[in-house]
Structure 1
Amino acid sequence: MTAMRSVDEALAEITRAAQPLSPETVAIGDAADRVLAADVVAAITQPPFRASAMDGYAIRSPDAAPGARLHVIGVSAAGSPFRGRVGPSQAVRIYTGAVAPDGADRILVQEEALVENDCVVIAVPQTGGTNIREAGIDFSVGAVLKRRGARLSAIDLGLIASSNVSTVSVSRRPLVAYFDNGDELVEPGAALEEGRIVGSNRFALEALVAAWGGSPRYLGRAADDPREVRRKFAEAAGADVVVAVGGASVGDHDYVRRAFEDAGGKIAFTKVSVKPGKPTWFGRLDGACVIGLPGNPASSIVCAILFVKPLIAGLLGESARGGAICASLSAPTKENGARESYLRGQLIGDRTGRLMVTPFVKEDSSLMTPLALGNCLIRRPANAPAAAAGEVVDCIPYGAIAAGGAE
């Protein structure tokens, strides 16, 4: 059935088709922003030994009385532990991160000690903590540090490395082949003849695909010729995802869907009840998921955020796939029509943690400025009534949320 879908129906159909790709093993130094295909399990306990949290002296609690004079019998430094045992009226000079020697159960901070030849005198009462980090207070061997489906951050890489794990299993990056279509398109910097426009969509799409975890491959531009468009689908062989930009409407020169079916593709749906982006379509071709995006720049990018991003997340097996967050409108919006709409807006968080969103007035599907100035899409359900300032709406972030100064 190829009838028009709602946004939720289209998303459900696309995500059902997105089965996680095969895993590959990479070094942790190459794993930033990759999605785990298997849990990461700690190979060691961390810290692996009792360690001093301060520079000072390792002592016994029974000796920790003000004025006590302790004989310093050795030194424990990071990487060079003291091999003996601390006995009564004894101390070991110790440095931060060094192994706490046997027999010692607290660290006398050096600022609270007086040094007299080969002895140390406790200068103040020892009433606080022990200043010793016990083994395993961070994690123990066998602990699951990161779950399958997690996207690895820089901090995650440090955590995994600290557990003595050198490689991780991650999902293969989906190969996303894409092309744009239209006789009217020219490259940036070219002389513009009357009726021509700059083809900008592919530059945004390439960066978005890479940021979402895919491996983008531009197939070039297809003229408004069915044979040339079909050739692009043939050149996409081996890709996990194919994105056709433009030629998605029903005009006499919009050949893309026809060429897709001529190439053996199976259409799942031909339209989505969404504004902007009604001509968005989806199908399968030789095992690849194929999405057709409108040619208008704002429509193309909005629908890439709505549909291509979740498709890539599904192929990666990503557990946290984003989605809508709530924010209060800073300005009213008018009533919505029969299609679910996505207004461009700017999310700002104030010092209290409250999120406010400002919708942009200009919403034409050819306009790039509102997208560039904004950082989110404001969802307006089909036939939604006008919304007043202060009303809570759903927003899909696509950029960093700005920090406001108001309280």
Structure 2
Amino acid sequence: MKTVEQALEILKNYAKNKQEIETVDIQFCLGRVIAKDICSTVNIPPYDNSAMDGFAINHHIGQAEVEISQRIPAGTSPKPLKENTAARIFTGAFIPQGADCVVIQEQCEIKDNKVDIFAKAVIGQNIRKQGEDVQIGDIVLKKGQKIRPQDMGMLASIGINKIAVYKKITVAFFSTGDELIEPGNELTKGKIYNSNRWTLLGLLQTMNINILDLGIIKDDFQSTKNALETASKKADIIISTGGVSVGEEDYVKSALENLGELMMYKVKMKPGKPFTLGLIDSSYFLGLPGNPVSAFTVFNLFARPFITQCMGSNYQIQTQEVITNFAWNRKGERREYARAKLINGKAEIYHSQSSGVLSSTIWADGLVIIMEESIIKKGDKITFIPFNQWGC
């Protein structure tokens, strides 16, 4: 059984980006992973321009009444500024030659074709200098970054409409268990609704990947083997929920060993101990536990970073230190990830930490990490992992 740190290190070592590069329009690039550093070929701003509506002058004029010699809206090309005059200028407009500052209109008074400037002028005030945001040759976005809405705006601001990204990876997933039925069907004796399928689908949909949903697989060796074999021919990564424990009706692990290689089995954590990593031909296999909370937790702590790294991007789980408003009096050999909620800035835990209580993930807004052999007192500091980083 691996520790959490050992499991993360093993996953990191195996997570390789094997995707080809394609070019996409920025209209379709949100969430994609950049395949090459993107450098600017222009300065932003491209020229000195006014940060405010007002009057462009040379600071030597000082506080004086002067002639308004020209009007400069944004998008026009100004003439050189006549000596001892002012130019009416608007936000974003080109600073004329001879002007070295802009006095905002609230500090001036217009009188016919003249302006009375009654504020002190300082060189460079209210002027956005050429290249003060981005200069020619600057790397504006780096290889491996996932593109966000603000990145799309930056690409447009430097004149780029197409970029090189890694092709999307394909993740296939299925659930195992003869007790499972889909929502919409009558719940008969001995059956339960398949919640894991829909939780996992939602989690995968937050990652901007191609998803292959194989549904529910029967609890027998041949059906499990066939599902794995089919998925390995179509997907870069295969994920299953259930069937990786040690029960007589759990066939995923044995089918995996028959078809490929088992590289890791079991992690010293709770919930989520029977997490599995394997390889079938060139497709990775991630086996998640069947209990709903275990599947949710293990996906976000292990599968999400692994998938992200296979996409060509780096991944770091975001954590924060908080104060506890609960006590934890039982020492455990395994690291525990308890569903928790921040109330008035302090962490409280759900009344049931059973791995089958999916409602705890609805109530919670994160997980607190209870280290091995730990006792927690009210007021102690603890590490909190917020759900919102996962879109949860």
The TM tier, using the shorter chain, reads over 0.9
Shift of 1:17: 0.9
Q: Point out the more displaced range, 275-284 or 113-122.
A: 113-122
Counterpart of 1:39? Answer: 37
Does the aligned pair in 2 maintain the 1:21–1:172 contact within 8 Å? no
Counterpart of 1:116? Answer: 111
The aligned amino acid for 1:189 is G
Does the aligned pair in 1 maintain the 2:350–2:363 contact within 8 Å? no
Distance in 1 of aligned mates of 2:92 and 2:323: 48
Does the aligned pair in 1 maintain the 2:335–2:370 contact within 8 Å? yes
Does the aligned pair in 1 maintain the 2:69–2:82 contact within 8 Å? no
Counterpart of 1:243? Answer: 239
Question: Is 1:187 aligned to residue 182 of structure 2?
Answer: yes
Does the aligned pair in 2 maintain the 1:174–1:215 contact within 8 Å? yes
Question: Is 1:53 aligned to residue 51 of structure 2?
Answer: yes
Q: Paired residues, what number?
A: 388
Distance in 1 of aligned mates of 2:348 and 2:168: 35
Counterpart of 2:290? Answer: 295
Counterpart of 1:7? Answer: 4
Counterpart of 2:84? Answer: 89
Counterpart of 2:27? Answer: 29
Counterpart of 1:309? Answer: 304
Counterpart of 1:369? Answer: 359
Does the C-alpha gap of structure 1 residues 86 and 11 become closer, same or farther in structure 2, counting only changes over 3 Å?
same
Does the aligned pair in 1 maintain the 2:169–2:209 contact within 8 Å? yes
Does the aligned pair in 1 maintain the 2:100–2:124 contact within 8 Å? no
Does the aligned pair in 2 maintain the 1:55–1:109 contact within 8 Å? yes
Distance in 2 of aligned mates of 1:77 and 1:107: 14
Does the C-alpha gap of structure 1 residues 125 and 12 become closer, same or farther in structure 2, counting only changes over 3 Å?
closer
Q: Point out the more displaced range, 206-215 or 220-229.
A: 206-215
TM-score by length of 2: 0.93
TM-score by length of 1: 0.89
Distance in 2 of aligned mates of 1:322 and 1:24: 28
Shift of 1:392: 1.5
Distance in 2 of aligned mates of 1:146 and 1:313: 18
CA root-mean-square deviation: 2.0
Counterpart of 1:18? Answer: 15
Distance in 2 of aligned mates of 1:21 and 1:393: 38
Distance in 1 of aligned mates of 2:120 and 2:14: 68
Shift of 1:320: 4.0
Shift of 1:332: 1.2
Does the C-alpha gap of structure 1 residues 5 and 127 become closer, same or farther in structure 2, counting only changes over 3 Å?
closer
The aligned amino acid for 1:16 is N
Q: Hey, which bits of structure 1, 4+ residues long, moved more than 4 A? A: none
- 2:381 pairs with 363, 367, 392, which one? 392
Distance in 2 of aligned mates of 1:65 and 1:274: 72
Distance in 2 of aligned mates of 1:11 and 1:75: 63
Is the partner of 1:212 in helix, strand or coil? coil
Counterpart of 2:324? Answer: 329
Report the identity percentage: 31
Distance in 1 of aligned mates of 2:156 and 2:39: 11
Q: Which runs of 5+ in 2 are unaligned?
A: none
- 2:202 pairs with 207, 224, 242, which one? 207
Shift of 1:87: 2.4
Distance in 2 of aligned mates of 1:17 and 1:26: 28
Distance in 2 of aligned mates of 1:383 and 1:172: 44
Shift of 1:161: 1.8
Does the aligned pair in 2 maintain the 1:247–1:253 contact within 8 Å? yes
Q: Deviations over 1:339-392 (max 9, x none)?
A: 2211111235x6xxxx532221201111101111112222222222x1101212
Distance in 2 of aligned mates of 1:400 and 1:19: 23
Shift of 1:397: 2.3
Distance in 2 of aligned mates of 1:307 and 1:317: 16
- 1:219 pairs with 214, 222, 238, which one? 214
Does the C-alpha gap of structure 1 residues 212 and 390 become closer, same or farther in structure 2, counting only changes over 3 Å?
farther
Shift of 1:309: 0.8
Does the C-alpha gap of structure 1 residues 202 and 317 become closer, same or farther in structure 2, counting only changes over 3 Å?
same
The aligned amino acid for 2:328 is T
Q: Point out the more displaced range, 155-164 or 317-326.
A: 317-326
Distance in 2 of aligned mates of 1:187 and 1:307: 26
Q: Deviations over 1:5-47 (max 9, x none)?
A: 2222222112211112323322222222223222222221111
Does the aligned pair in 2 maintain the 1:281–1:291 contact within 8 Å? yes
